[in-house]
Chains A and B, each alone.
Chain A
Amino acid sequence: MDDPDVAALETALGEIWTLAHRFGLDPYPTHFELVPASIMYEFGAYGLPGRFAHWSFGKGYYRMKTQYDYGLSKIYEMVINANPAYAFLMDSNSVLQNKLVIAHVLGHTDFFKHNAYFGPTNRGMVESVRLHAERIRQYEFDHGTDTVERFLDAALAIQDHIDPHLRFAAATPAGGEPPRTHPTSPYADLWELGTEAAAERAKAEDERHAQAQAPPRFPAAPEADLLRFLAQHAPDLALWQRDILEIVRAEMLYFVPQMQTKICNEGWASYWHAHTLRELDLTDNETVEFANLNAGVIAPHRRSINPYHLGVKLLEDIERRWDQPTPELQARGIQPGSGRSKLFEVRELENDLSLLRNYLTKELVDELDLYLYEKQGNEWIIVEKNWEKVRDGLVDEMTNFGNPLIVVEHADYRRSRELYLLHRHEGRDLDPLYAEKTLAYVQQIWGRPVHLETVLNGDHMLFSYDGTKAARTEL
């Protein structure tokens, strides 16, 4: 992109920024940086600039860059949730492509600022990851690159297993000891002899004694945040290792809202890039280029859900229904012409799961031709088109970000500090090879034997790994 192009883009940025505000968008201040393709792919692979070094990022970088070099795929946008926000434009893209990206990005930075799920995110994350990277580099100096890398391998293997809802959790764990009953005077219980209250109190006392004698179960309630649990309770970790677990967890937590709102967020940005570009003064060629590009971005995929496609269609459908409410909707007090304001409400309140549950209709499922498919023999076959089943299937697939839910059941299994994990099986089996290999990483962190209970083809199975050999037993 040469100087006149950059100047044209700067002018366009001014127009788009003004338009966005006229539409009612209120994005964070956004800094756009023109970068070469290799830098774009680097940030794409790391998720954030300045993140700590690990070979897996290098692998991702190499893959993305190779696909780009062979013309197989291309990143258009890369935007960072921060205040001010950062976005990256590829300097080899055309002016029109970058105009579209700018309009799209402002949709995202407005969403970052206003969607409820982004409320608690760290807006200084770019700075934080830089500090994390520095700490990890120091650990590499102190303990050797290989040692740190081996530990990072293990930590990254379980990075999906954090619990973003922890901040809502009660401060005291549930299911502790029942409260002790204090008599008000040494003889108070005499007055209650033979009454129901006395019997109840005696029962409570017995329970308390029984519980005091059984070894307390730890954790008291199953714990879904594997990373945090290991950072706090793995017996033999050094401080730097606990710190690495916390770093990986903090960075993953930062990405959670983006994973939770992929459809809403991309839908919102795509909705606005289309509306913005229609308002811009484009040449004929640019108009055709825009139409092509936009069609590519929101094209449906046969074997997966394209969040851009589903998102923008859902939002347009909501807008239409609230602009021209059916009598039924009008009876619920919805005013005709309230589509746009409804959209702003949706962008503030919903995440992907709630958006689908609340707004996906039979008509839209039919219009978008959504379906469920499964593997039969060596073919993938469409098995369901009933809209409610499709919606529920979609929701199931996205629950827990598409990851299996695995909880720490017991940290003193067999009274020998063995870790017992439970996969909450909800219809889909684990990939057994991957489970076995990942369990070995958990063992590496925990330091004592570890177990994972799951269901494979209907059988309850226990995977175990003690540091030297892996075992599978039927339960």
Chain B
Amino acid sequence: MTDPDISAIGHDDWSLHRKGPADQQRHQQKIKEAVRKNLGQIVSEESIILSDGQKTIKVPIRSLDEYRFRFDHGSGQHTGAGDGDSQVGDVIGRTGGRKAKGPGRGPGEAGDTPGDDYYEADISIDELAALIFEDLGLPNLAEKRQQELESESVQFVDVRRTGILPNLDKRRTILENIKRNAAKGNPHFGGVIADDLRFKTWDQRIEYQSNAVVIAMMDTSGSMGEFEKYIARSFYFWMVRFLRTKYQQVRIVFISHHTEAKEVTEQEFFHRGESGGTQVSAAYELALRIIADRFPPSDWNIYPFHFSDGDNLPWDNDLCVSLVRRLMEQCNLFGYGEIREGYRGATSTLMSAFNKIHEPKFIAVTISDKKEVYPALKKFFSERTAPA
């Protein structure tokens, strides 16, 4: 044995030591802040829109790099050690492909070009959705006459003598036990019998929601390029998600159109490409027909949205305007999104026709960059009070 003053082995209890986790939490918090600040960029990330049900995604966050003056790793020479027979000219690695995680300055990660070396946070789509939807709501939502949709929720409100053990109300059980003992003259806790047991039980609560239907219309004509389709898809991706998160009972009707319009399933809406010319009025007419058939405005809050590149047949525009006016009479809001890549300044013929409409119910946005999807969402879904 050594003299314990000189050298010894200690074995303390470290279970309450929490410094690392505390700072880790601060780091996580910063990730969240950074995500919140960059929602505009993140919302239209390909990895999310094309994620196909993946639960978590990687989000690049530049602001969490620990910047310092450092050498460009690609410039200059470095040393290494081979296994005995290396030759000048041997290739020992390739750049590109893998991205470094974290500060990634370890020599093992030498293959990364410095530009790629940023922090990637893992974030679940649900978490991201919660951030995005924080301030969003269905605008102009009004209470409708009847046919309210029911939604069930469970609440623990009652205490009973019978129940299942996981629902045991320990506090009340102890109290009953002490009371019973006290009645015998010795107030203490002990000797629990079946009579003492108390269980929490639940009640089903039925909540009523106003009926709402969203009519999602999308231009699938040949003039809609990759970019236009992608933007419309990102918008509707989040819109559908948003509606499903916040309003479980909202119905969504999907309409895709070129010169003809037809009602499609969600799957077809997001995945089918079409071609041909554009006649927007067809979609609006179909929307009006669907409303008349299935969603009487007296019972439903109705929200039609339409995304297009605006290249409509010129003689169709006036008809569109009058149809939109008719739609607005029956709907809570009409949203029109025009997607024009690298916004060329000139508005489309359809947009200039729409410019004549001055009504709080009519909201139009132009998206010329991926970053503008998030502001568009915010513009359409900011909770407004219902017009009197």
Contacts and interface: CB of A to CB of B under 8 A. Distances in A.
Contact of B23 (A57, A156, A371): A57
Interface string B13-26: 01101011111111
A69 interface: no
Nearest to B91: A379
Interface of B: 1-2, 5-12, 14-15, 17, 19-28, 30, 64-96, 101-103, 107-108, 110-111, 114-115, 119
Given A372-B77, A385-B88, A432-B72, A61 B24 contact: yes
A32 to B, nearest CB: 5
A168 interface: no
A103 interface: no
Interface stretch (A189-197, A297-305, A342-350): A297-305
Contacts of A161: 69
Given A369-B86, A375-B73, 4 more contacts: A39-B14, A375-B95, A380-B91, A433-B115
Contact of B20 (A38, A370, A427): A38
A288 interface: no
A384 B81 contact: no
A58 B25 contact: yes
Given A34-B11, A300-B83, A438-B67, A373 B78 contact: yes
Contacts of B21: 38, 58, 61
14 contacts: A39-B14, A42-B17, A58-B20, A58-B23, A160-B68, A301-B81, A304-B78, A369-B84, A370-B80, A371-B82, A383-B88, A403-B70, A404-B69, A437-B65
A10 interface: yes
A406 B69 contact: yes
A403 B69 contact: yes
Given A379-B94, A390-B79, A53 B69 contact: no
A380 B73 CA distance: 11
Contact of A305 (B80, B84, B115): B80
A382 B90 contact: yes
A300 B92 CA distance: 14
Given A158-B68, A161-B69, A303 B9 contact: no
Contacts of A435: 69
Contacts of B11: 6, 33-34, 91
A434 interface: yes
Interface residues of A, number: 88
B30 A428 contact: no
Contacts of B86: 369, 371, 382, 385
Interface of A: 6, 9-11, 13-14, 17-18, 29-36, 38-39, 41-42, 45-46, 53-63, 65, 89, 91, 156-161, 300-306, 309-310, 368-375, 378-385, 390, 393-394, 397, 402-404, 406, 423, 427-435, 437-438, 441
Contact of A13 (B2, B5, B24, B79): B2
B95 A380 contact: yes
Given A33-B12, A59-B64, A433 B26 contact: no
Contacts of A381: 89-92
A242 to B, nearest CB: 21
Q: Which 6 A-B pairs have the closest CB atoms?
A: A58-B23, A304-B107, A42-B20, A300-B81, A428-B76, A58-B24
Nearest to B101: A63
Contact of B78 (A303, A309, A379): A303
Secondary structure at chain B's binding surface: helix, strand, loop or mixed? loop
Nearest to B110: A303
Given A157-B67, A393-B79, A59 B8 contact: no
B111 to A, nearest CB: 7
Contacts of B108: 301, 303-304
A382 B87 contact: yes
Most buried by A among B6, B79, B111, B114: B79
A394 B79 CA distance: 6
Contacts of A13: 2, 7-9
Contacts of B7: 13, 17, 29-32
Given A56-B66, A302-B80, A428 B72 contact: yes
Contacts of B81: 300-302, 305-306, 309-310, 368-371
A323 to B, nearest CB: 25
Contacts of A56: 27, 66
Contacts of B77: 372-374, 383-384, 393, 397
A438 B8 CA distance: 44
Contact of B85 (A45, A369, A397): A369
Nearest to A440: B67
A29 B3 CA distance: 10
Contact of A431 (B5, B72, B85): B72
Given A372-B78, A382-B89, A431-B73, A55 B10 contact: no
Contacts of B102: 59-60, 63
Nearest to B78: A373
Contacts of A303: 78, 80, 92-93, 107-108, 110
A55 B26 contact: yes
B8 A32 contact: yes
Contacts of B20: 38-39, 41-42, 45-46, 57-58, 61, 65
